[in-house]
Chains A and B, each alone.
Chain A
Amino acid sequence: MIGVEQLMRARSVERGPRSAEWRLLLGISLVLLFGTSAATAAPGAASNTASDAASDKMRNVWGEMVETPRYGGTITVTTLIDYEHTDPWYNWNGTMSASPVLEKLGIGDWSIPKERYGFTSGFVPVDVITPHLAESWEMPDSTTVIFHIRRGIHWHDKPPVNGREFDAYDVEMSIQRVIGTGPFADQGPSPYAHMIKSAQIVSAGATDPWTVEVKVAEPSLLSLSAMYWQSWEGSWISPREVIEQYGDHRNWRHLVGTGPFMLEDHVDGVSWTYQSNPNYWYRDTRFPGMRLPFADKLRVLVIPDRATQIAALRSGKIDVLTGLTIEEARAIERSNPEMRIFYARSGGLNRESTMQVTRPPFDDLRVRQAMQKAIDVPAIAEHYYFGRATSAPYGLGGPAVVELGWDAGSEDWPESVREGYRYDPAGAKRLLAEAGYPNGFSFTYDASPADDLDRVQLYKYYWSLIGVETKINVLSSAAAASNKAYKGDFDMTVIGLRGNNYTPLGRLRSFMSGEIENFAQWKDPKYDALARAAYAADDVSTFKREVARASTYYASQHITLANAYPDAIVAVQPWIKGGYWGQRSIGGGGMILTMWSRFWVDESMKP
């Protein structure tokens, strides 16, 4: 996302390499093109196949001798809610269910050494994305993107497409459908593909079977990003016959893709079953030449109860369970010592307590600072999260973002800002007295059952020590997360920087004046100017510097509380192999289930 925003300033290659934008564009193009050649073998060019997998060891792309992947078996995962339908155009439910079937123009590259990027956080830097259905792209001018479509890819052998070769007209139709142009003008754009809408794409047209030209209203590489991979609803490519015949592919029986799996069966409220695509074109970038997917089947069981999901994991009915709490992980470690538990550094969720800054008492910076200084965050990280959390404060970007160098860490902040985050109850009381609240005050904290209510109780305790009385108002997720927050009707709400909104770009926008996500109703011309400067950056280093300035200023204003960062925890059965170290996707943009095509099952290890 960030890289794409930098590319927003890219100029036409025809104008010559006269600016930093050009250098940036060239650099990223090289990354993408290099990724293409290194990562993806041409269809039919695979030298290693299933028969070669008979040997026990093979050399991977990093030169290591590792266990040879095995074909066959079933990978079973779970979801709390049913996906309901299979068309991303209609909302993210369709994104989830279609993600093993449909594909995008770009995708994450798992052959990148995990030390550089492990795909374990929600933050996906642009340079880990490589061309996929597109072979490459170019920008002849600042409002035109040309995609060169990869040849030799075939749709699943299912009616009405029947294995036809994928081409530029499918891409044209898919983009037109999502933006509501051409034959889809009457239907209008997908109301859910907001990123595509923000990208201001004007038109998309195939100039020949292997070339698609996309025009945007303003110079914006957000358009490229959205079309390429990052839009949850808008980046997927569908076959035109399906849309022509049925109008959409909400009905799972109509879903046809180019991806590693074909949707075989769906039982409402029970399961989704995907069968491996025997003609899948893509080869594993980590094990050169090896056909994907490794597993014969991918199953998603709909289990709406958390305790039942954990029971299913313990009894081997499911292979993977994500989003574990530390208590759940510890209990599983005790009962199933063979289970592999992965703790990944979180990308966000650090500042989910937003204060309403337009009215007393939180309109006073000293009060907001006092609320922060009253909480012993390191103690919470150490004892409440059993040390599986980060206690350092962050600005707009979470730990993963800072580690990858896309935001400043607190060690880079001025001492005056760092001081505001030190646990100091006496100092907090002093600040309250200076602000005119020597005896404290009373306020309401809007929480929801989906959030960590125990931690809110801890806050209540800490604040009581400085004379602040907290009334915890537990609302439904919908009410807390949207209604009250979006209307600004709260003193302090659990909603803040959105949990999955990992990119500094999105977060910068969250606190600009008038933004819908600006729950705090914060209007600060200085912050707005800093954020705009970051958006206007020409190159990576400028962007990072401007983000750091805006982020540091944001941190100094204490709009949200800095909390301890619990790790993202995943439990995986020992028989699931494929270099799993807690990856969460194959590149963001809703490509959640896609990644299971990269894993295999060691049936011999199953009980």
Chain B
Amino acid sequence: MGGYLWRRLAYMVPTLLVVSVIIFSLVRMVPGDIIDQMVAEMAAQPGASGTVDRAAIERRLGLDVPVYVQYGRWIAGVVQGDLGETFSGYGSVTEKIFGRLPVTFELGLLSILIGLVIAIPIGIYSAIRQNSVGDYVGRTTAIAFMSVPNFWVGTMVMIYPAVLFRWSPPMEVIPFFEDPLGNLGMFVIPSMVLGMSLAGSTMRMTRTMMLEVLRQDFIRTAWSKGLRERIVILRHATRNALIPVVTWVGFQIPMLVGGAVVTETIFGLPGTGRLLVDALSDRDYPVVTGVALIVAAFVVLVNLLVDLTYAWLDPRARQD
């Protein structure tokens, strides 16, 4: 197991290196470079003369050297834990990203919790009451949760309470350690919005797995032994059915990162998703590259954890 873990960790290095090259190159290939945009913004100011020192700005931002030199400087900093300086604010990218990570982390964690709390009981109920009215309602709900995009739900949650009741969700982050209840109150609505699609897909996965397990011989044996339904379902069926569900949830986490981009923007949460959107529109290359690299590392780590879970659950996987 130890060797397997080290081998997988070693694979992460070239993976992240390739990812960093791709991200670094791609962001610079987007039409409209940072200097042109800055020049355009400045030239739009009242009384602008149009004589802007492009070369000075390029020097200041470190864009006056070839891309491979820029990459070399950047990756040398990354190795030392320094992701560079932001273009828009001249702050440390590392500090900025790690300042925003707790928000995304809390949002993601709550979304998963909410998603699972909704999905697993309904999924189990749908399976054990297959083709009942409750099952149909559960399945319809699951499909609705998966079909409705979270940006639309988020926008509706913002607009309609404001129009009808002159109320809108909180828009300022309350630190957890200052006011835990206020903090949870702030995150609960965006987390529900973000957790919806996870809930829908997990609900269906749980139902499917439960139906499969419920048809297994050992479940028939359990029934034959005269065990009560609660024991059969919870102790025998659910525990086995949830193994692939846990794996499924693990693979959904990167999707949540993508969803957080939209949710954070709509609800004004200062997380890494919103940071990425802002940086992309500003062509703030160091921030875009830094966030993308951190997210890539996170996804690779989650995949590793999922694989390790598999390896722990199924010894055959360790041989692969």
Interface residues of A in 296-340 (CB under 8 A from B): 301-305, 307-308, 310-312, 314-317, 335-336
Indicate whether A368 reaches chain B with its CB closer than 8 angstroms.
no
Contact A481 B48 (CB under 8 A): no
Q: In whole angstroms, what is the CA distance A316 to B166 when docked?
A: 8
Nearest B residue to A334 by beta-carbon distance?
B163
Of B41, B49, B266, the contact of A92 (CB 8 Å cutoff): B41
Contact B44 A500 (CB under 8 A): yes
Interface residues of B in 193-233 (CB under 8 A from A): none
Indicate whether B31 reaches chain A with its CB closer than 8 angstroms.
yes
Residues of B within 8 A of A93 (CB): 88-89
Q: In whole angstroms, what is the CA distance A317 to B316 when docked?
A: 57
Residues of A within 8 A of B283 (CB): 478
Q: In whole angstroms, what is the CA distance A128 to B183 when docked?
A: 47
Of A122, A317, A486, the contact of B36 (CB 8 Å cutoff): A486
Interface size on A, residues (CB 8 A): 75
Contact A192 B42 (CB under 8 A): yes
Residues of A within 8 A of B70 (CB): none
Residues of A within 8 A of B46 (CB): 1, 122-124, 230, 232, 500-503, 506, 588-589
Indicate whether B131 reaches chain A with its CB closer than 8 angstroms.
no
User: Which of B10-18, B106-114, B115-123, B268-276 lines the interface with chain A?
Assistant: B268-276
Which applies to chain A's interface (DSSP): helix, strand, loop or mixed? Answer: loop
Residues of B within 8 A of A81 (CB): 278, 282
Indicate whether A480 reaches chain B with its CB closer than 8 angstroms.
yes
Interface residues of A in 254-279 (CB under 8 A from B): 267-271
Residues of A within 8 A of B143 (CB): none
Per-residue 0/1 for B45-73: is the Cβ within 8 Å of any A Cβ (1 yes, 0 no)? 11111111100110010000000000000
Of B38, B49, B89, B268, the contact of A84 (CB 8 Å cutoff): B89
Per-residue 0/1 for A73-93: is the Cβ within 8 Å of any B Cβ (1 yes, 0 no)? 000000001101100001111
Contact A192 B57 (CB under 8 A): yes
Smallest CB separation, A443 vs chain B (Å): 19
Nearest B residue to A199 by beta-carbon distance?
B49
Nearest A residue to B39 by beta-carbon distance?
A482
Indicate whether B285 reaches chain A with its CB closer than 8 angstroms.
no
Contact B278 A250 (CB under 8 A): no
Residues of B within 8 A of A484 (CB): 31-32
Indicate whether B148 reaches chain A with its CB closer than 8 angstroms.
no
Contact B47 A311 (CB under 8 A): no
Smallest CB separation, A578 vs chain B (Å): 24
Q: In whole angstroms, what is the CA distance A249 to B182 when docked?
A: 33
Contact B42 A303 (CB under 8 A): no
Residues of B within 8 A of A37 (CB): none
Contact A483 B88 (CB under 8 A): no
Contact A501 B37 (CB under 8 A): no
Indicate whether B158 reaches chain A with its CB closer than 8 angstroms.
yes
Contact A270 B47 (CB under 8 A): no
Interface residues of A in 225-255 (CB under 8 A from B): 225, 230, 232, 250
Nearest A residue to B52 by beta-carbon distance?
A194
Contact A479 B31 (CB under 8 A): yes
Q: In whole angstroms, what is the CA distance A135 to B265 when docked?
A: 46
Q: A1-B46, A269-B275, A312-B168 are in contact. Are A304 and B268 (CB under 8 A)?
A: yes
Contact A304 B265 (CB under 8 A): yes
Residues of B within 8 A of A315 (CB): 161-162, 166-168
Indicate whether A112 reaches chain B with its CB closer than 8 angstroms.
no
Per-residue 0/1 for A289-301: is the Cβ within 8 Å of any B Cβ (1 yes, 0 no)? 0000000000001
Residues of A within 8 A of B48 (CB): 194-195, 498, 501, 506, 517
Residues of A within 8 A of B278 (CB): 81-82, 304
Q: In whole angstroms, what is the CA distance A359 to B88 when docked?
A: 37
Contact B90 A308 (CB under 8 A): no
Smallest CB separation, A228 vs chain B (Å): 12
Q: In whole angstroms, what is the CA distance A477 to B32 when docked?
A: 8
Contact B36 A85 (CB under 8 A): no
Q: A191-B57, A197-B51 are in contact. Are A268 and B159 (CB under 8 A)?
A: no
Q: Measuring CB to CB, which residues of chain A are less than 8 angstroms from any residue of chain B?
A: 1, 81-82, 84-85, 90-93, 122-124, 188-189, 191-192, 194-195, 197-198, 225, 230, 232, 250, 267-271, 301-305, 307-308, 310-312, 314-317, 335-336, 475-486, 495, 498-503, 505-506, 509-510, 515-517, 588-590, 607
28 A-B residue pairs with Cβ-Cβ distance under 8 Å, sorted by A, are A82-B278, A90-B89, A91-B38, A191-B60, A192-B38, A195-B47, A195-B48, A197-B51, A230-B47, A232-B42, A232-B46, A268-B99, A268-B100, A301-B171, A302-B270, A307-B158, A310-B162, A311-B159, A312-B162, A316-B166, A336-B166, A478-B34, A480-B32, A481-B32, A484-B31, A486-B40, A499-B44, A517-B50
Additional pairs, 5, CB under 8 Å, beyond known A314-B166, A335-B163, A502-B46: A91-B38, A304-B274, A305-B266, A478-B281, A482-B40
Q: Kindly list the 5 A-B residue pairs having the minimum CB-CB distance in the complex, ordered from nearest.
A: A269-B270, A84-B89, A478-B32, A482-B36, A479-B32
Q: Measuring CB to CB, which residues of chain B are less than 8 angstroms from any residue of chain A?
A: 30-34, 36-53, 56-57, 60, 86, 88-91, 96, 99-100, 155, 158-159, 161-163, 166-168, 171-173, 265-268, 270, 274-275, 277-278, 281-283
